[in-house]
Amino acid sequence: MRVISMICCATLALAGCSTVYRSSDVIPGAGDGTQVRVVPLNGETVTQANRAPYAPQSLPEAYARSAGTGAGVSVRGAGRLPEAPSTQDGLRNQRLALKRPPAVPEMSYQIGVGDVVMLATPTTRNTLEELTGLLAAQNSRNGYTVQDDGSVNIPDVGRVRIAGLTIEDAEELLFQKLVEAQFDPTFSLEIAEFNSRRVSVGGAVGKPGVLPITLTPLYLSEALAAAGSVSVPDIDVSSVRIYRNGKLYQIPLTDFYASPDLQNTRLISGDAVFVDTDFNLNRAERFFEQQIRLKQTTLAARAQELSELNTAISLRRSDYAEQRSTFEAREVLGANNRDYVYLTGEVDKQTRYPLPYERQASLADALYDAGGGIARETGDVSQVYVLRASSDPREFGAVTAWHLNASSAANLTLATKFQLRPDDVIFVAENPVTKWGRTLRQITPSLITTPVAAAVN
């Protein structure tokens, strides 16, 4: 009993000497020069609190802009392009000049790559067998196509090169091959499809296309007729042009129709025939040459513009990257002017929370981002406050304490809606058990040392 009495007396004595632990708290009313008004948080008071004007700070423009082709990016390119060349309307009175192609010597048809040849041999079978064999021969015709190496592949004989030979020379070569293979050399050779030698016809004709050259010569009049005949609005300014072996020849239509000799101009493989309504060959050549140069100039200008644009974009991108890097370095060093709220009391970490750029921050953001939330063992979830000083100079020292009672978890949704303002102070009170435990820890050393000192004395 004596010891208990001594402990109680020591506790009262220490409390009277103000050595017992004291914790912060939110005390409504006026005192110490501060007027505190406690407002419970609900849907209506959250809306009232959010009416306080505040514009979040903005990031530098370098974060918002891209290095695209906006204002400030200019390209020069090649400047103004040359004018398109003029046509020949001013020269209609000039007469077309005749420039006929040279005569082509008579020569036999030479087998070429792509031609299809058919080799026919006699048979002693009956009529039905002969018909069946004929159909088989027709169906195997593709097997005698002159391939890329100039050869045909004959079953049981092998590959025989016949490209470049006349039909007579090819028959003689095949005769020798059949004898060497011990086959009856009685056969006939004919060309079934002519695919190796062709002439193209285009321009002012009914059906432009490609015509084959067969065993009989192909003449200019026949080629034009096969292409649907000539169709021009004005015969006096039209001509037939033949492109052969890198050279261009011209036959005016008036001369063509008046001369059977010109109509019987023999065509050779590779000729390109074009019926043109233009009337001056040299002028036409210059015109097409100018068109090609104009197109090349246009492409070169676009390439130059693209190069200059890429250079400008690269420079702008580097400039923006430098601005961002400088801003971020200032942020790390604390040189930027930021808006903060402060967290104190029973939170996991007492710190200051920088308000984000370009958006509002809520009470929940600050608690669970910077402060780590309410301290689970020591914090009183029913006593969460946001302390906000009045911005009115006439109310200096007035503080509004927005009170959140989070003992009901549903009230935490109010924390996600409550918007923070610069210099707000978020305070979480300690629970009563924590306050009492801290008081005991503070006075326990005194309770132990006081009886010992008394016994010694």
- C-alpha 389: how far from chain center: 53
Higher-confidence position of 126 and 321: 321
Within 191-280, where are the H helices? 220-226, 253-258, 260-263
What are the start-end ranges of the E strands in 172-328? 188-193, 198-203, 209-212, 218-219, 239-244, 247-252, 266-267, 272-276
Contact 94, 279 (CB under 8 A): yes
What is the domain extent for residue 307?
A: 285-337
Q: What are phi and psi of 165, to 5 degrees?
A: -100, 150
Under 8 Å between Cβ of 403 and 41: yes
- The more confident residue out of 2 and 417 is 417
- Whether residue 453 is predicted with pLDDT greater than 60 in this model: the reply is no
Is there a contact between 200 and 247 (Cβ–Cβ < 8 Å)? Answer: no
pLDDT band at 309 (very low <50, low <70, confident <90, very high): confident
Residues 102 and 239 in one domain: yes
Domain termination residue (choose one: 132, 158, 193): 193
For 265, how many CA atoms within 13 A lie in the half-sphere containing its CB? 24
pLDDT band, residue 185 (cuts 50/70/90):
confident
Please give the average per-residue pLDDT across 288-294, as a whole number. 72
φ, ψ (nearest 5 deg) of residue 50: -75, -10
Of 18 and 49, the one with more pLDDT: 49
**Could you tell me if 271 and 133 lie in one domain?**
no
> What pLDDT does 149 receive?
86
What's the chain's average pLDDT?
A: 79
User: In this structure, are 354 and 434 located in the same domain?
Assistant: yes
pLDDT at residue number 357: 92
Region 128-140: what's the mean pLDDT? 44
Mark whether 220 and 189 lie in a shared domain.
no
φ, ψ for residue 291, nearest 5 deg: -65, -40
Q: Is residue 273 part of a domain?
A: yes
Residues 324-364 pLDDT 10s: 899 889 888 888 899 999 999 888 888 999 999 999 999 99
The DSSP code for 157 is T
Is 393 part of any domain? Answer: yes
- Same structural domain for residues 99 and 229? yes
Highest-scoring range by mean pLDDT, 184-188, 242-246, 439-443: 242-246
Report the distance separating Cα 279 and Cα 300, nearest Å: 32
Residues 99 and 244 in one domain: yes
Does some domain include residue 70? Answer: no
**Residue 139 clears pLDDT 60, i.e. is over it:** no
Indicate if the pLDDT at residue 286 is higher than 80: no
Q: Where are the alpha helices (DSSP H) in 227-360?
A: 253-258, 260-263, 281-333
- Residues 325 and 344 placed together within one structural domain of the fold: no
The amino acid that residue 308 corresponds to is: E
331 and 346 both lie in a single domain? no
Higher local confidence (pLDDT), 383 or 82? 383
Tell me, what CATH number does 165's domain have? Answer: 3.30.1950
Q: Provide the whole-model pTM.
A: 0.45
Helix, strand, coil shares of the chain as percentages rounded to 5?
40, 20, 40
What type of residue sits at position 440? L
How many domains does one find in the chain?
4
Structure-model confidence comparison of residues 212 and 442, the more confident one = 212
Which amino acid is it at 229?
S
Any domain includes 249: yes
In a domain, 353, yes or no: yes
Q: Where is the domain boundary, 259, 279, 299?
A: 279
- Yes or no: say if 386 and 426 are a contact pair by the CB < 8 Å rule: yes
Asked if residue 157 belongs to a domain, the reply is: yes
Q: Which residues pair with 119 in a beta bridge?
A: 189
- Do 245 and 312 fall into the same domain? no
Asked if the structure places residue 79 within a domain, the reply is no
Of 209-223, 249-263, 366-380, the least confident: 366-380
Give yes or no for a contact between 196 and 214, defined as CB atoms under 8 angstroms apart: no
pLDDT the model gives residue 92: 46
Q: Are 102 and 246 part of one and the same domain?
A: yes
* 382 shares its domain with 431: yes
Look up the CATH number of the domain holding residue 206.
3.10.560.10
Residue ending a domain, among 169, 193, 217, is 193
- How much of the chain, in percent, has pLDDT values that exceed 90? 25
In terms of domains, do 98 and 214 share one? yes
Count of other CB atoms within 10 angstroms of residue 174: 21
Q: Assess if residue 69 is contained within a domain.
A: no
